[in-house]
Amino acid sequence: MAKIIGILTGGGDCPGLNSVIRAVVRRGSNLGYDIIGIKNGWKGLIDFDAVNLGLSSVSGILPKGGTILGTSRTNPYKEGDDAAKVIANYKKLNIYCLVVVGGEDTLGVAAKLAKEGLNVVGVPKTIDNDLSATDFTFGFDTAVNIATECIDRLHTTAESHHRIIVVEVMGRHAGWIAAYSGIAGGADIILVPEIPIDLDEVTELIKKRHSRGKTFSIVVVAEGAKFKQGNEILQEQKLDAFGHVRLGGVGEALGQEIEKRTGYETRVSVLGHIQRGGTPTAFDRVLGTRFGVKAVDLVEKREFGSMVSLQGNRVVSIPISRAIEKIKTLDMELYDIAKVFFG
């Protein structure tokens, strides 16, 4: 009987997940494994919700955004005996190894299950690009390209109306999307979670820019950025299963302050989930594909408890525990480059 590889996708969705699923199915089938997909992240293993993934189930999914398996932020270590159910159902499904595609939280659960003796291999995923131990995650490049296109579009309307436009992009703990899209889109100020927002400095930069004849400005802000005195701005206080708050609103608060302090008409554009939806870029499709193939190769080599990781231009294997050690915050050398173009 063929050995079974299970695969699940957990946490926020991101473009490129289907590339990983397709690659796992194609490589796994070539090597003689049967593949099953667990529905909706860890929730599917709690509820015993799984489907067979044959070659036909992954046909045509490469350019498709989201995940054909569905996802959730269910944390089996939060509620009663859910972790025990996950382990029991893993065994009931006769899984030889589970490929877990997720961010910090989903991989954190995988690391705990590995300690309990389950065979797991991790694949890092987040549009925020803030997972340590991998240079890039798929989904990030797509998000950056979408945000850059939006910044380009906002330029023409800001210029025509002589306005300031604040663009709020995703980035809970790290300003990678803000910095990359801001540099690529020629933003006049970029504000990131790593550096508290100094409103005096922002006002001064905008005034300086206008004093040299510019009549509009684009300010990019990451949703997780905080004001010098204060915390992150939240949409609601409720926490999800992994203890995260729902961010959003810093753009609006910043826009109001900028208008008040500079006297220039200001508008705010929140890009939100547009950055996570739709078809992945070629880069993300290739990275997802490389990660998926490598994950199956790690199963084949019995390198359980490991995770695939992009280091330079090579996809290598590292212990899964390293992915969750710490957040990879923005490289300040990159931010210094962005700052050359401020004001």
What positions carry a catalytic annotation? 128
Give CA angle at 11 (247, 36), nearest 5°. 165
In the complex, least distance from residue 332 CB atom to ligand F6P, rounded to whole angstroms: 20
Closest separation in Å from C-beta 328 to ligand F6P: 13
Residue among 172, 209, 210, 328 that touches ligand F6P (CB under 6 A): 172
**CA 129/CA 126 separation, integer angstroms:** 6
Q: 3-state class of 169 per DSSP? A: strand
Using CB under 6 A as the binding rule, whether residue 34 contacts ligand F6P is answered as: no
The correct pick among 133, 170, 197, 206 for binding ligand F6P (CB under 6 A) is: 170
Taking the C-alpha atoms of residue 230 and residue 219, their distance in angstroms, rounded to an integer, is 20
Q: Where are the beta strands (DSSP E) in the chain?
A: 4-9, 34-38, 50-52, 95-102, 120-124, 164-169, 189-191, 217-222, 234-236, 246-247, 266-270, 306-311, 314-319
Residues facing residue 268 across a β-bridge: 166
Terminal CA-CA length for the chain: 65
Between the alpha carbon of residue 335 and those of residues 110, 128, 143, 342, the distances in Å are 33, 16, 18, 11
Stretches 53-61, 117-125, 165-173, 308-316: which one binds ligand F6P (CB under 6 A)?
165-173
Q: Is 126 in the site for ligand F6P (CB under 6 A)?
A: yes
Query: Any contact of residue 127 with ligand F6P (CB under 6 A)?
Result: yes
- Partners of 138 in the β-ladder: 125
Question: How far is it, in rounded angstroms, from Cα 268 to Cα 304?
Answer: 47
Q: Is 128 in the site for ligand F6P (CB under 6 A)?
A: yes
User: With binding defined as CB under 6 A, does residue 168 bind ligand F6P?
Assistant: no
Please report whether residue 43 would count as binding ligand F6P according to CB under 6 A: no
Q: In angstroms, what is the minimal distance from the CB of 103 to ligand F6P?
A: 6
Of residues 254-313, those binding ligand F6P (CB under 6 A): 276
CA dist., res. 140 & res. 224, Å (int): 16
Q: Output the residue with the shortest Cβ distance to ligand F6P.
A: 170
CB of 275 to ligand F6P, least distance (A): 7
Q: How many residues bind ligand F6P (CB under 6 A)?
A: 10
| Residue 273: CB minimum distance to ligand F6P, A | 6
Binding flag, residue 70, ligand F6P (CB under 6 A): no
Q: Which residue type is seen at 43? A: K
Q: Which stretch binds ligand F6P (CB under 6 A): 94-102, 124-132, 286-294, 314-322?
A: 124-132
Pairing of strands 95-102, 120-124: parallel
Range 186-245, binding ligand F6P (CB under 6 A)? 223
Residue 12 sits in the site that holds ligand F6P (CB under 6 A): yes
Instruction: Using CB under 6 A, list all residues that contact ligand F6P.
Output: 12, 126-128, 170-172, 223, 247, 276
